[in-house]
Structure 1
Amino acid sequence: MESALSHRRFGSSDLMVSPLGLGTVKLGRDKGVKYPKDFTIPDDKAAADLIALARDLGINLIDTAPAYGRSEERLGKLLQGQRQDWVICSKVGEEFNNDSGDSHFDFSHRHTRQSIERSLDRLKTDYIDIVLIHSDGRDEHIIQHEGALEALQQCKQEGLIRAIGMSTKTVSGGLLAAELSDAVMVAYNPAHQEESPVLDYCARHGKAAILKKALGSGHLISEQDPAQAAMHFALSHPGVTSAIVGTINPEHLRENAEACQRALLQT
Structure 2
Amino acid sequence: MSLPTLHDLHRPLGSTGLTVSPLGLGTVKLGRDQGVKYPNGFTIPDDQQALQLLAQARELGINLIDTAPAYGRSEERLGPLLRGQRHEWVIVSKVGEEFDNGQSRFDFSAAHTRLSVERSLKRLETDCIELVLVHSDGNDLHILEHEDVYATLERLKQEGKIRGFGFSGKTAAGGVKALEQGDCAMVTYNLNEQGERPVLDYAADHGKAILVKKALASGHVCLSPGVDPVRASFELLFAHPGVSSAIVGTINPVHLAHNVATVAQVLKQR
- Normalised to the residue count of structure 1, the TM-score between the two structures is 0.98
1:160-214 CA-partner distances (Å, limit 9, x unpaired): 0001000010111011001110000000001101110110000000000000000
Deviation of the 1:266 alpha carbon? 2.8
AA aligned to 1:66 is P
Q: What residue identity is the alignment partner of 2:164?
A: A
Match of 1:147 in 2: 148
Structure 1: runs of 5 or more not aligned: none
Partner amino acid, structure 2, of 1:105: F
Is residue 236–residue 263 contact of structure 1 (8 Å, CA) maintained in 2? no
What's the CA shift for 1:263? 1.2
Equivalence for 1:173: 174
Tell me if structure 1 keeps the 8 A contact 2:5–2:261.
Answer: no
Structure 2 residue 87 is the aligned partner of structure 1 residue 84? yes
- 8 Å Cα contact 1:120/1:126 also seen in 2: yes
CA displacement at 1:2 relative to structure 2: 2.5
Q: Distance in 2 between matches of 1:11 and 1:171?
A: 18
Give 4+ residue runs of structure 1 displaced > 3 Å after superposition.
Answer: none
Count matched residues: 265
After TM superposition, list the pairs within 5 Å mapping 1:210-221 onto structure 2.
Answer: 210-221=211-222
Question: 2:183, 2:47 → 1: CA distance?
Answer: 33
Match of 1:13 in 2: 16
C-alpha contact 1:12 1:208 (8 A) present in aligned 2? yes
Q: Distance in 1 between matches of 2:45 and 2:95?
A: 25
Residue aligning to 1:53: 56
Cα RMSD of the aligned pairs, angstroms, is 0.7
For the residue of structure 1 that corresponds to 2:70, the secondary structure is helix
Q: Does 1:44 align with 2:47?
A: yes
User: 1:225 — aligned with what?
Assistant: 228
Residues in 2 aligned to 1:53 and 1:236: alpha-carbon distance in whole angstroms: 27
**Runs of 5+ in structure 2 lacking a partner?**
none
Shift of 1:109: 0.5
- The CA deviation string for residues 101-144 of structure 1, in whole angstroms up to 9 with x for no partner, is 11000000000000000000000000000000000001111011
User: Helix, strand or coil for the counterpart of 2:195?
Assistant: coil
Aligned 8 A contact 1:22 1:245 in 2: yes
* 2: CA distance, partners of 1:147 / 1:56: 40
The alignment partner of 2:263 has SS state of helix
